[in-house]
Structure 1
Amino acid sequence: MKADPAVQRRLLDLAEIDAELTRLAHRRRTLPEHAQLTEAAAAVQAGKDRLVAAETAAGDLDRDIHRIEHDVEGVRARIRRDEQLLAGTGVGAKQAADLQHELQTLARRQAVLEDEQLEVMERREALGVDLEHSRGVLAEAEQTMSEIAERRDAALADLDAATAGRGRERSAMLGEIPGEVLAVYERRREHGNAGAAALRERRCGACRLELDRTFLSQLRAAPADELVHCEECGTILVRTTESGL
């Protein structure tokens, strides 16, 4: 296939743009913020899990405290009632003895409940400190994740702008290259190769291999407007003054 040497040199410009677009796409995929954001999200979720566990435990203790308070109030009410009965008239000796026995039992029950209440309240107070710590850890993790997301978004915006700019350059350049030449170039790129590369110091600019003498002799004999390909990787080879032919 024939292609004017000037067109071939434009293929090198196009290949440079495509290489830059590939690098930009790779940078977009491999931004460190992606992995950092995944780690930060995991830290936030772990913080939420710890906070939920602490809040659940606190709720259980609050219910225990309420239950014990209710039980203590019930015992105190029974004590007040028995004391009122003892203080009243018409209480026989046996009933008085029974009331005294019940008051002793109620006093012991009240003491047990109050000890239990004190223990649970101390546990609840300690858990309150843990709750505040868990909230602080979660808030810090969420702030970190927000900051990473902002950095990622800013980096993506810069990459998008650079990609859009190079894309516009590419679109403008396509009009300068004949369709059949462009088709050959694009077919090479579909196979994961560079579409075109300079032959520099007897090496292919795409695969970096030094070409053998026989093939180099063929290149020397080929007309300047002949579209030639690397015998190793198939990339369009563009001959320049630096080719070493």
Structure 2
Amino acid sequence: MKAEPAVQRRLLDLAEVDAELNRLAHRRRTLPEHAELSEAEAALRSGRDKLVEVETAAGDLDRDIRRLERDVEGVRARTDRDNAMLAGAGIGAKQAADLQHELETLARRQSVLEDEQLEVMEQREAIGIDVDHVRGEVSAAEQRLTEITRRRDTALQDIDSAEAGRLRDREKVVADVPADLLAAYEKRRAQRGVGAAKLVARRCQACRLELDRTALADLRGAPADEVVYCEECGTILVRSADSGL
């Protein structure tokens, strides 16, 4: 394949642009914000799960408190009724004794219920503190997720802008490269990651290996417009005054 030395040198410009595009793609994939987002999302999920757990426990205790309040009110109402009957006229001795016994039973029942009510209310107060604490943690996790997302999006916008600029540069370079030479470059870039490299001091700048004497002799004998390749990595070699030939 033939190409003027100046055209071959344009391959180096193209390789430089492609290398920068590769670096930008690598940066996009490896942004630290990606890992931070995963951790923040996991922390938020965990916090929300914990919040559901403590809010459910608080709701259960609230229902227990309401039930105990109803039970206590029921006992008090029964006590008031029995006291009213006991104080009424025309009540017999046996009925009075039965009412007195029931009042004693109701008093014990009320005491048990009130003790249980106090215990549940103390538990509710403690779980309320947990609810407030977990809500604070969830709020902080949401804020952290928002902040990391903002930083991630800003970084991606910067990468997008840089890529757009480099792609415009690539289009300009590609316009100067013949189709057959460009096809050879793209083939090697797809296979090896680098399509063209400069030969400096007898060393290929793609694979960083120094060419042996036979390869160097072949290159010395090749016309300037001959497209040559590195015998080690197959990349298109672009010769210049500092190639050491």
| Interval containing the TM-score (normalised by the shorter chain) | over 0.9
Q: Which residue of 2 aligns with 1:147?
A: 147
Distance 2:193 2:73 in 1: 84
Do the aligned partners of 1:193 and 1:235 also contact (CA within 8 Å) in 2?
Answer: no
Q: For 1:1-245, what aligned pairs fall within 5 Å after superposition? A: 1-245=1-245
RMSD: 0.6
TM-score by length of 1: 0.99
Alpha-carbon distance in structure 2 between the residues aligned to 1:184 and 1:29: 28
Task: Tell me how far apart the structure 2 counterparts of residues 138 and 185 of structure 1 sit (CA, whole Å).
Answer: 53
Cα distance between partner residues in 2 of 1:193 and 1:51: 50
Helix, strand or coil: the match of 2:171?
helix
Task: Give the Cα–Cα distance (whole angstroms) in 1 for the partners of residues 22 and 14 of structure 2.
Answer: 12
Measured after TM superposition, the shift of residue 193 of structure 1 is 2.7
Contact 1:229-1:236 at 8 Å conserved across structures? yes
Q: Percent identity?
A: 69
Alpha-carbon distance, 1:24 to partner: 0.3
SS in 2 for 1:237: strand
Q: Which amino acid aligns with 1:139?
A: S
Distance 1:240 1:148 in 2: 48
Residue aligned with 1:191, SS? helix
Q: CA deviation at 1:11?
A: 0.2
1:20-46 deviation line (CA, Å, top 9, x unaligned): 000100000000000000000000001
Structure 1: give runs of 5+ residues left out of the alignment. none
Distance apart, 1:99 and its partner CA: 0.2
Aligned length: 245
2:103 maps to amino acid: L
Task: Name the aligned partner's letter for residue 192 of structure 2.
Answer: G
Write the deviation string for residues 70-90 of structure 1: whole angstroms up to 9, x where unpaired. Answer: 100110010000000000011
In 2, Cα distance between equivalents of 1:172 and 1:210? 32
Deviations for 1:176-202, whole angstroms, at most 9, x for unmatched residues?
A: 111111010011112133010000111
Amino acid across the alignment from 2:17: I
1:244 Cα offset (Å): 1.1
Q: Is the 1:193–1:206 contact (alpha carbons within 8 Å) kept by the matching residues of 2?
A: no
Where structure 2 has 5 or more consecutive residues not aligned to the other structure, the ranges are none
Q: Secondary structure at the match of 1:125?
A: helix
The alignment partner of 1:15 has SS state of helix
Runs of 4+ in 1 over 6 A off after TM superposition: none
Structure 2 residue matching 1:114: 3-state secondary structure:
helix
Structure 1 CA distance for aligned equivalents of residues 71 and 192 of structure 2: 78
Q: Distance in 2 between matches of 1:237 and 1:176?
A: 18
CA–CA distance in structure 2, aligned partners of residues 93 and 143 of structure 1: 73
